Structure 1
Amino acid sequence: MFKTRGFSSRFQLSLSGPLPPDIYSATRLQEISLPSNNLSGFISDNIVNLTRLAKLELYGNTLAASYPAISLTMIDLLENDFTGNFPASLYSCKSLRAIRLGGNRLEGEIGTDVVQLKFLSFLSLSDTKLTNITKAIKILMHCKALNILFLPGNFLQEAMPTNDNIVGSSGFTNLRLLSLANCQLTGQLPIWLSKLKNLEVLFIHGNRIRGSIPGWLSTLPKLFFLDLDNNLLSGEFPKELCALPALVSHNL
């Protein structure tokens, strides 16, 4: 049942219960945006009838279902009750540009079919139960349009992949933000990060990374934000980082 929360200086609507079945007959619908409510139950497979639906924004509910294989450009189902492996049906949504599925109970590995999402620029899978960070990096580096990649709270206690060749010269060519925070990753900071020449923001906090802070981080020409807090790093702060191009002011 849909219920209203009441009136204040700003109208607020609090929805509860399942999505109404009539919504799947609205074939001209282009957007569903009902975040932060108390919606529950399953998203019907009939959602495939909404052939014009481009944006599905239902974060902050307790919905569960199979994922729709339709012409979406954005799907935001953050903090719901989805379970199982990363949904393979999303790989057929060729127009997808943004996926946010964090805070669900996903598990398993990211499949190679994600490379088919040619326009995918934003991917957030924070705080799920994904495994095999090495495979994930090898696959995701081929997503050429990827700008933002949030993977915190996954790959728990795995080793940070250190193979220099895990990222090729054409990998992550447009990546601007990478988060591998709070994964309890072990090992050292890998030199393949130095290949991410468009990287601006790097979150590695909340891991078990050892060793010293490498001076080669200064070779990232656009890096301006680096968070290495709550690791097991030791040694001196490398003076090379003071010369990061994005931190140097030319107005002095």
Structure 2
Amino acid sequence: MSWKDAQNAFFLGLSYNKLTLFPGKDFKNVTLPPLEALSLASCNLVEFPPFIQELDPLGSIDVGNNDIKSIPCGMWRKRNLQSLFAYGNSLTGRISPLICNLKSLVILDFSYNNLSGVRPSCLGSISQSLQAWMLQGNKLVGPIPQTYMAGSNLKMIDFSNNTLKGKLPRALVNCKRLEFLDVSHNQINDSFPYWLSTLPELKVIALRSNEFHGAIMCPTRCTFLKLHIIDLSHNEFSRNLAPEMIRNWNP
């Protein structure tokens, strides 16, 4: 049973307050209610609330827009966790590869932090559950993870505003439900990704401010079936832009 369907589920919303946690408080001997969702966004927090690690059935956590600098290792043992929002904090260092233990994860939002290094490659293939993967506005480097499993449920990928290099992973063609792809403001060096036209649900492609080059063309006729927005600005594309190239797109 998912956390949304659980009986006697309890949601606690404390967002937009000025809370203070008592340092060193031991919650192991404290009986806590069966929380399924907890919202502590914009609460002036400077550390990850330790009692969260004791909430085994917790399915959704929102600690966005605080000043949290790290996430405790105990969080990576939460097998029921489906949504983790930690956007707009002060997270530093690498994303722990232990995050791939979260087999039920549907939404991961670590956007606008100070995370660095490379992303755990397993996130593209840990399970079929992950739908939204948001890492924009960090200091991530290196190539984009190349592995995406067949049957992936990914609908949204936002890696914009980092320092990613290399090529777009061709394995993205396995993400048949992908609707939104944003890798703008990186250092990706690749040719026009015409192969994205095979994704039947893709609506937004943002490649702005990278090092894409060559002609904007497809080897054969390509039709982006549901495309609404494509941003190719501030790259190194060249050669003629054939009118039929755009006419073939079918938003």
TM-score of Structure 1 vs Structure 2, range by shorter chain: 0.7 to 0.9
Which of 42, 45, 60 is the equivalent residue of 1:74? 60
- Supply the AA of the counterpart residue of 1:54: E
Q: Is the 8 A contact 2:100 2:122 kept in 1?
A: no
Q: How does 1:137-148 map to 2 (within 5 A)?
A: 137-148=121-132
| Farther off after superposition, 110-119 or 94-103 | 110-119
Tell me which residue corresponds to 2:205.
Answer: 226
Q: How does 1:108-119 map to 2 (within 5 A)?
A: 108-119=93-104
Tell me which residue corresponds to 1:37.
Answer: 17
Separation in 1 of the partners of 2:208 and 2:174? 22
Aligned residues: 216
Q: Is the 8 A contact 1:133 1:155 kept in 2?
A: no
Separation in 1 of the partners of 2:177 and 2:214? 27
State, as a whole percentage, how many aligned pairs show the same letter: 29
Tell me which residue corresponds to 1:52.
Answer: 34
| TM-score for both structures, normalised by structure 1 | 0.73
| TM-score for both structures, normalised by structure 2 | 0.74
Question: Cα deviation per residue 1:76-101 (whole Å; 9 max; x = unaligned)?
Answer: 000112113x3321123222111001
Structure 1 SS opposite 2:226: helix
Structure 1 SS opposite 2:27: helix
Q: How does 1:210-221 map to 2 (within 5 A)?
A: 210-221=189-200
> Are 1:160 and 2:143 an aligned pair?
yes
Computed over aligned residues only, the root mean square deviation of the Cα atoms, in angstroms, reads 2.9
Q: Is the 8 A contact 2:147 2:169 kept in 1?
A: no
Q: Is the 8 A contact 2:112 2:138 kept in 1?
A: yes
Structure 1 SS opposite 2:163: coil
Q: Is the 8 A contact 1:36 1:61 kept in 2?
A: yes
Q: Is the 8 A contact 1:197 1:222 kept in 2?
A: yes
Q: How does 1:70-149 map to 2 (within 5 A)?
A: 70=55, 71-84=57-70, 86-134=71-119, 136-149=120-133
Higher helix share: 1
Gaps of 5+ in 2: 1-7, 228-248
Structure 2 SS opposite 1:35: coil
Question: Cα deviation per residue 1:67-123 (whole Å; 9 max; x = unaligned)?
Answer: 422121110000112113x33211232221110011122223333433333321111
- Supply the AA of the counterpart residue of 1:149: W
Separation in 1 of the partners of 2:100 and 2:90? 23
Q: 1:140 to 1:169 in 2, by over 3 A?
A: closer
Separation in 2 of the partners of 1:118 and 1:169? 14
Separation in 1 of the partners of 2:58 and 2:34? 8
Q: Is the 8 A contact 1:66 1:87 kept in 2?
A: no
Separation in 2 of the partners of 1:92 and 1:161? 25
